[in-house]
Amino acid sequence: MSQLTDNLRNLQQVQMDADTARRQRDFLLERIGAEQVAPENAWQSFWHVFNHPYVFKPFAYVTAVFVLFVTGTFYTMSAATQSEPGGTFYPVKLKFEQLQVAFENNDTQRAKKQIEYADRRLTELSSLQSDVSPVDKQEKVATVVKHFNDSLQDVKSSLEKAATAGANDSNGDVVDVVALVNNKSTDFADVLSTHSDDLSTTVKTALEKEVQDIKNYSLEVLVAKYQKYRDRIPESIIIDQLQEKIIALGEEVSTLEDEDIKAEALEQLSAMQELLEDRQFEDALAGIKAYEQWFAEMIAPEDTASNEGEVLGEEEIVGDLEIHIDTTSTTSTIPVLETQIQSEGEIE
């Protein structure tokens, strides 16, 4: 039986010979060509294929699902972008921001985004001024402050990674991000100073310190990068940044009333200026850090005395929420501001 079926399969070699098949094909095409009305054009061909139920229906379903998905996503993102702290879509907004950060190419780009989002948090803080319910407002302020602090920590983390990144990481971006941090730090400080009513002195001081530390840290990253890749970062950028810093410190000194401290401060600043002129950038930066620590100690007793009740207590009440702040760090690196919000429900 197997032999028979094999032989049957061999019958496939019985074929109409090629010439006959070609002639027959031509004959048939000629016949139908003479009878048909008009050949289809390209558009008609496309339409007949597209309009076929097997093509059109799946296409229609896929398109409908796609449109619903895009519309839904667009609506959600639109609602999220405009949402305010405490709003339903506010957590979505924050998640979307995290997603955007994750899609950035390198750490300096990520730092830029994170600064932008920190700026956004302070804008939200300002917009809360019009909130009528004091309880709601306090909760929302606490939420915004938490996320602002988170953004600052993220910036710090990205800067740390950028500092240790290899030559492949864009050094031009480092220069940009340092300039951005400088500008934004000034803006942040200005905004925070306008929120004395919303933020306790401790929280405000801690945030201001955090902002200042990130500003200093970005300068450290820039100098460290310059030391490693001198040919890629212009020297003038380093000089300008350090010069600006020394000038800012000098302006601060000019407001002091104690002549002895003032004289000592100016002497130290002069020494740093000389180091800068000698292109000893690392030493100049180390001098600035040491000076700032010394200066803080010099002016601290008066400030501490005036805020004794608040600063000594490390728990600060913002509305019904407790914010725990570590203000003990005095090292040159940024102290960790641990903000823990405890309330009955989790707040995003």
State yes or no: residue 11 binds another protein (CB under 8 A).
Answer: yes
Q: What are phi and psi of 14, to 5 degrees?
A: -75, 115
CB under 8 A: which stretch of 36-44, 59-67, 69-77, 172-180 binds another protein? 36-44
CA distance 348 to 81: 15
Single residue of 2, 4, 305, 328 touching another protein by CB under 8 A: 4
Single residue of 7, 130, 328, 331 touching another protein by CB under 8 A: 7
Element (H, E) at 323: strand 321-324
Shortest distance in whole angstroms from residue 22 CB to another protein: 10
Shortest distance in whole angstroms from residue 17 CB to another protein: 7
State yes or no: residue 183 binds another protein (CB under 8 A).
Answer: no
State yes or no: residue 62 binds another protein (CB under 8 A).
Answer: no
State yes or no: residue 57 binds another protein (CB under 8 A).
Answer: no
State yes or no: residue 48 binds another protein (CB under 8 A).
Answer: yes
State yes or no: residue 52 binds another protein (CB under 8 A).
Answer: yes
Shortest distance in whole angstroms from residue 67 CB to another protein: 24
Alpha-helical regions (H) of the chain: 2-10, 18-35, 42-50, 53-81, 90-102, 107-127, 134-164, 171-193, 201-228, 235-254, 259-277, 281-306, 308-311
State yes or no: residue 32 binds another protein (CB under 8 A).
Answer: yes
Single residue of 2, 10, 209, 306 touching another protein by CB under 8 A: 10
CB under 8 A: which stretch of 5-13, 152-160, 189-197, 324-332 binds another protein? 5-13
Locate 252 and state its tokens.
């601060």
Single residue of 2, 34, 54, 133 touching another protein by CB under 8 A: 54
Instruction: Please say whether the beta carbons of 124 and 85 come within 8 A.
Output: yes
CB atoms within 10 A of CB 284: 25
Instruction: Please say whether the beta carbons of 107 and 161 come within 8 A.
Output: yes
State yes or no: residue 13 binds another protein (CB under 8 A).
Answer: yes
Cβ distance to another protein smaller for residue 20 or 78: 20
Shortest distance in whole angstroms from residue 44 CB to another protein: 6
Locate 154 and state its tokens.
């993220």
Cβ distance to another protein smaller for residue 1 or 102: 1
Q: Torsion over CA of 131, 134, 139 and 143, rounded to 10 degrees?
A: 40
Cβ distance to another protein smaller for residue 7 or 88: 7
CA distance 175 to 226: 10
Size of site (CB under 8 A) for another protein? 38
Closest CA to 107 of 58, 156, 54, 71: 156
Q: What is the DSSP letter of 336?
A: P
Cβ distance to another protein smaller for residue 28 or 65: 28
Shortest distance in whole angstroms from residue 61 CB to another protein: 15
Residue with tokens 């940009």: 176
> Which bin fits 17, alpha (ψ -120 to 50), beta or left (φ > 0)?
beta
Cβ distance to another protein smaller for residue 7 or 133: 7
CA distance 219 to 245: 9
CB under 8 A: which stretch of 31-39, 191-199, 206-214, 250-258 binds another protein? 31-39
Strand-strand pairing, 315-318 and 321-324: antiparallel
Shortest distance in whole angstroms from residue 165 CB to another protein: 50
Interface residues toward another protein, by CB under 8 A: 1, 4-5, 7-17, 20-21, 24-25, 27-29, 31-33, 36-40, 44-45, 48-49, 51-55
